[in-house]
């Protein structure tokens, strides 16, 4: 068994290692870069690069790579050896400051949404010193940003870093009004990752899972999650061995994997880390996802990170827990009396304003073909963005809007369970709300809409920038107010802003149909599909927000719009092709074979025993052939609709056609095939069923 305190961070060039390996003056300069955002020069970079190389080689590394996040959302890497051959036939190892600071991968084959032409291949990667370098598979990985020859951001990290800088600048202005001058204001993220583990044998037998990440056919299992026995239940031995290896590998990489458990659906699990600075937390989450996929094979398993791999049971999300801190003080901690905590109320009001003003951008940031199947399916928040504050903060907000200055925050109650041996403990003032997309959970907000496959850079870029806008408006208004009037003026600003944005606050059941009607009355957006959600990318309001804070230019925003549409269309194209091919070449032929076997058996029995002996078999045969006819017709119509969709040149129009014309026919075809699964002989069914896949040993 590993001594986790000794292995933790052993493959990371972290602060402890830097202090040990770098000269004190170089360490001090690099620390200022990391902690205060100060620039670094080439001389310092050369020293850091040499120390980093020597440390990496000691750990067995032979190559280095600039590790970055192109617009595909996954990570990319190109490995270069430390080896430098010499004229005399020997070789030395070499890694320069220039190689540390800047790389030059070919940018021609990455998604770019029109930011550059195919023949413009040059791209640059730039070292992000605020996210520690690490060793993975004998390669020194240097987290980097990725940009084009013209300086346009071709990745997800660059806008995230820009948004963090924008929020920090505006937060410092606000805090200065309270007499605070923190060195750093940062956003922190804790990413709860849900995933499925299934047998490798079953996975390889399901071509739809292999090619699309989800089952395009499959009737819900006879036993699903209705007994609620899997959630927090005892972990399967095979899964437990996987989890133990995963913990060890993540701890070596300095990833604070903290909580692991079974989730609600059978074969579903969750891993949650401790909070980290946003860009580092997102890097670590992407590493976690990669390790999950790779290590599962060591145990005869496959890790599924699609948002909805199985119809009829819960899908998987990635809860984005978000907070703001100034020099390690959590600015979203309400304290014992939130009503009297003016600084907290300013921050809370800013969040409410940001989420209301840019609700459609937040919905856009989580939009994907996979997440469309999950959102609003009574296992995840609806596609309508709202904020849950809970009883206590809800009352505080109401009191502020109503100018009820006499309101006093409720003191925490002690929980008495009525058993003498059990301790009394304080009860939180606020319950949790699983149905809310954006919920306050004590001293942070939990954004529950992102899907399990998501790169959280998108959501946090939107959230940080929208929050920067709210804080800027407060600072612009208050900076000219005399000090003696600040308190009253700030409370008045809060009251007015909360009144203007009260519609976004909803503490009820987000799954209920009545909420959808109520949200419409409030004027909240309800973009159910990805094509609908992405339209706001091209709004002037969106351009204005991101350009005001230098987070994304109009061209950079439009490029992301095109990339997201293109990915959606390509995924639907693949899914349609797989459904058509599987229907025609697997399901319908095998069901036909069963019909032939059944017909022959009916003929033989009827010849001997007469018609009455086979009336039930004949009814079954008719049910099968009727279902087959429906499946044949649906397959033909799917092919027709798919051809129409493929011929549409405009990406937005094509995506909308897939959403509103192709997907309904896909669902009809699925329903037809899934209905036949329940009456077809198991030996004739061409693939493992949900009963087989989800309840392995």
**pLDDT for residue 106:** 66
Residue 68 has pLDDT above 60, yes or no: yes
**pLDDT for residue 510:** 86
The reported pTM is: 0.93
**Per-residue pLDDT tens over the stretch 314-351:** 999 999 999 999 999 999 999 888 888 999 999 999 99
CA nearest 570: which of 642, 671, 640, 668? 642
Give the model's confidence band at 2: pLDDT under 50 very low, under 70 low, under 90 confident, else very high: low
**pLDDT for residue 515:** 92
Phi, psi of 29 (to 5 degrees): -65, -45
Give the model's confidence band at 124: pLDDT under 50 very low, under 70 low, under 90 confident, else very high: confident
By the 8 A CB rule, do 465 and 163 touch? yes
Quick one: what percent of the chain has pLDDT higher than 70?
Answer: 93
**pLDDT for residue 413:** 61
By the 8 A CB rule, do 348 and 436 touch? no
**C-alpha to C-alpha distances, 481 to 73, 174, 347, 473, 497, nearest whole angstrom:** 44, 13, 19, 14, 17
Mean pLDDT computed over 654-662: 98
Cα 400 from Cα 397, distance rounded (Å): 5
**Per-residue pLDDT tens over the stretch 562-572:** 999 999 999 99
**Per-residue pLDDT tens over the stretch 575-622:** 999 999 999 999 999 999 999 999 999 999 989 998 888 899 999 999
Residue 411 has pLDDT above 70, yes or no: no
Give the model's confidence band at 53: pLDDT under 50 very low, under 70 low, under 90 confident, else very high: very high
- DSSP character string of 312-357: TS---BEEEEEEEEETTEETT---S-GGG-HHHHHHHHHHHHHHHH
**Per-residue pLDDT tens over the stretch 467-499:** 999 999 999 999 999 999 999 999 999 999 999
Tokens for 272, please give them: 């949650």
Cβ neighbours of residue 269 closer than 8 Å, sequence gap 6 or more = 194, 195, 196, 197, 235, 239, 243, 260, 261, 262, 263
**pLDDT for residue 415:** 59
Give the model's confidence band at 513: pLDDT under 50 very low, under 70 low, under 90 confident, else very high: confident
**pLDDT for residue 405:** 72
Stronger pLDDT, 350 or 105, i.e. the higher one? 350
Tokens for 353, please give them: 């304003």
Half-sphere exposure of 100 (CA within 13 A, CB side): 22
Stronger pLDDT, 559 or 428, i.e. the higher one? 559
**C-alpha to C-alpha distances, 631 to 209, 258, 580, 634, 670, nearest whole angstrom:** 20, 47, 10, 5, 8
**pLDDT for residue 433:** 59
Contacts 24+ apart (CB under 8 A), 372-376: 372/528, 372/529, 372/530, 372/659, 373/214, 373/307, 373/308, 373/311, 373/315, 374/307, 374/308, 374/315, 374/316, 374/317, 374/451, 375/449, 375/528, 376/511, 376/528
Mean pLDDT computed over 62-70: 95
Residue 378 has pLDDT above 80, yes or no: no
Q: What is the mean pLDDT of the chain?
A: 92
CA nearest 287: which of 242, 250, 321, 241? 250
Cα 552 from Cα 558, distance rounded (Å): 9
- DSSP character string of 122-143: BEEEEE-TTS--EEETTEEEEE
3-state secondary structure of 2: coil
**Per-residue pLDDT tens over the stretch 209-249:** 999 999 999 999 988 776 767 777 888 999 999 999 999 99
Q: What is the residue whose two structure tokens read 């398993």?
A: 301
**Per-residue pLDDT tens over the stretch 426-452:** 555 555 556 799 999 989 999 999 999
């Amino acid at each position: 068994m590993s001594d986790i305190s000794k292995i933790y961070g052993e493959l990371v060039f972290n602060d402890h290692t830097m202090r040990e390996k770098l000269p004190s003056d170089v360490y001090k300069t690099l620390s200022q870069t990391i902690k205060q955002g100060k620039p670094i020069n080439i001389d310092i970079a050369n020293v850091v690069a040499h120390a980093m190389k020597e440390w990496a080689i000691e750990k067995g590394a032979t190559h280095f790579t600039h590790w970055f996040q192109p617009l595909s959302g996954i990570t990319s890497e190109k490995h270069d050896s430390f080896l430098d051959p010499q004229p005399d036939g020997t070789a030395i190892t070499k890694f320069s400051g220039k190689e540390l600071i800047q790389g030059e991968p070919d940018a021609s084959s990455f998604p770019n949404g029109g930011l550059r032409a195919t023949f413009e291949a040059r791209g640059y990667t730039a070292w992000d010193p605020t996210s520690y370098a690490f060793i993975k598979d004998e390669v020194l990985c240097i987290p980097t940003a990725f940009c084009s020859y013209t300086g346009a951001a071709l990745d997800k990290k660059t806008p995230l870093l820009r948004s963090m800088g924008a929020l920090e600048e505006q937060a410092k202005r606000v805090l200065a009004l309270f007499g605070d001058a923190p060195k750093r204001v940062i956003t922190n993220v804790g990413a709860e990752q849900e995933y499925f583990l299934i047998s490798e044998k079953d996975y390889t037998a399901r071509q739809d899972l292999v090619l699309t990440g989800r089952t395009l056919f499959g009737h819900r299992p006879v036993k699903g999650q209705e007994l609620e026995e899997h959630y927090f239940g005892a972990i399967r031995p095979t899964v437990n061995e996987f989890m133990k290896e995963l913990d060890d590998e993540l701890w070596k990489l300095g990833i604070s994997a903290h909580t692991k458990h079974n989730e609600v659906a059978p074969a579903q699990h969750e891993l949650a880390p401790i909070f980290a600075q946003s860009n580092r937390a997102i890097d670590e989450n992407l590493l976690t996802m990669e390790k999950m996929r790779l290590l599962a094979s060591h145990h005869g398993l496959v890790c599924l990170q699609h948002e909805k791999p199985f119809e009829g049971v819960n899908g998987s999300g990635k809860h984005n827990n978000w907070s703001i801190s100034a020099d390690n003080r959590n600015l979203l901690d309400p304290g014992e009396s939130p009503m009297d905590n003016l600084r907290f109320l300013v921050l809370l009001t800013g969040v409410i304003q940001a989420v209301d003003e840019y609700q459609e951008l937040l919905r856009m940031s989580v939009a994907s073909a996979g997440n469309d199947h999950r959102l609003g399916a009574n296992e995840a928040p609806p596609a309508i963005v709202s904020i849950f504050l809970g009883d206590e903060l809800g009352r505080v907000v109401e009191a502020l809007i109503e100018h009820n200055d006499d309101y006093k925050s409720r003191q925490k109650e002690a929980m008495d369970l009525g058993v003498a041996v059990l301790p009394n403990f304080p009860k939180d003032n606020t319950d949790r709300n699983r149905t809310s997309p954006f919920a306050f959970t004590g001293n942070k907000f939990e954004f529950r809409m992102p899907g399990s496959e998501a790169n959280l850079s998108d959501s946090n870029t939107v959230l940080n920038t929208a929050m920067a806008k709210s804080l800027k408006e407060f600072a612009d208004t208050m900076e000219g107010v005399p000090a003696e009037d600040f308190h009253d003026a700030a409370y008045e600003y809060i009251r007015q802003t909360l009144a203007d944005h009260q519609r976004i606050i909803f503490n009820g059941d987000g799954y209920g149909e009545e909420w959808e009607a109520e949200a419409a009355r409030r004027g909240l957006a309800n973009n159910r599909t990805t094509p609908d959600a992405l339209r706001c990318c091209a709004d002037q309001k969106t351009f204005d927000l991101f350009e005001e804070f230098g987070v994304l230019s109009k061209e950079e925003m439009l490029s992301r719009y095109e990339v997201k549409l293109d990915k959606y269309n390509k995924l639907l194209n693949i899914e349609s092709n797989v459904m058509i091919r599987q229907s025609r070449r697997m399901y319908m032929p095998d069901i036909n074979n069963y019909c032939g076997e059944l017909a022959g058996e009916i003929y033989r029995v009827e010849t001997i025993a007469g018609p009455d002996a086979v009336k039930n078999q004949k009814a079954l045969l008719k049910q099968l052939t009727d279902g087959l006819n429906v499946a044949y017709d649906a397959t033909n119509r799917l092919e027709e609709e798919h051809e129409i969709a493929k011929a549409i040149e405009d990406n937005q129009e094509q995506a909308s056609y897939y959403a509103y014309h192709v997907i309904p026919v896909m669902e009809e075809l699925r329903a037809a095939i899934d209905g036949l699964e329940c009456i077809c002989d198991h030996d004739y069914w061409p693939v493992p069923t949900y009963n087989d896949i989800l309840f392995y040993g």
